[in-house]
Amino acid sequence: MEEKYKLEPSAKEDIKESYQYYEEQKEGLGAEFLDEVNEKIQEIVEKPEKYSKYYKNVRKTSLKRFPFNILYTIKEKLVAIIGVWHKRREPGKLEKRIDKEK
């Protein structure tokens, strides 16, 4: 089966940290966060060009319940998830990450 998306290491770390934070706040909340992230990733994979470009060739969409953006690029037919970024985090750090990963 053809892979439709890839979680970059930076995105995996973002998800792991956020999951742990939410689980510490309330048992089961981390799992709810993961569910919403996975649902949004599936939505992105189905229509990757639906969301507008945020910075260079990086696109962004928001989660509904949790204050996070999912950032991704489209590389041929593969969606590369590069970050799951809290909306209050400094945008400049995200842009540095994007520039570093290219």
Q: What is the mean pLDDT of residues 86-94?
A: 73
What's the pLDDT score for residue 101?
A: 65
Contact assessment for residue 80 and residue 88, using Cβ atoms and an 8 Å cutoff: no
The pLDDT-based confidence of 15 (bands split at 50, 70, 90) is very high
Q: Is the pLDDT of residue 90 over 90?
A: no
CA 61 – CA 72 distance, rounded (Å):
9
Give pTM, 2 decimals.
Answer: 0.86
> How many other C-beta atoms lie within 10 A of the C-beta of residue 44?
21
DSSP-derived secondary structure for 18-85: HHHHHHHHSTTHHHHHHHHHHHHHHHHHHSTTSSPEEETTEEEEE-SSSSEEEEEEEETTEEEEEEEE
CATH number assigned to the domain comprising residue 52: 3.30.2310.20
How is residue 53 written in tokens?
């470009």
Q: Is the pLDDT of residue 1 over 60?
A: no
Domain hosting residue 41, numbered range: 5-101
Q: Domain count of the chain?
A: 1
CA-based max dimension of the chain? 40
What's the pLDDT score for residue 95?
A: 66
DSSP, collapsed to helix, strand or coil, labels residue 89 as: coil
- For the stretch 45-68, pLDDT in tens is 999 999 989 888 899 999 999 999
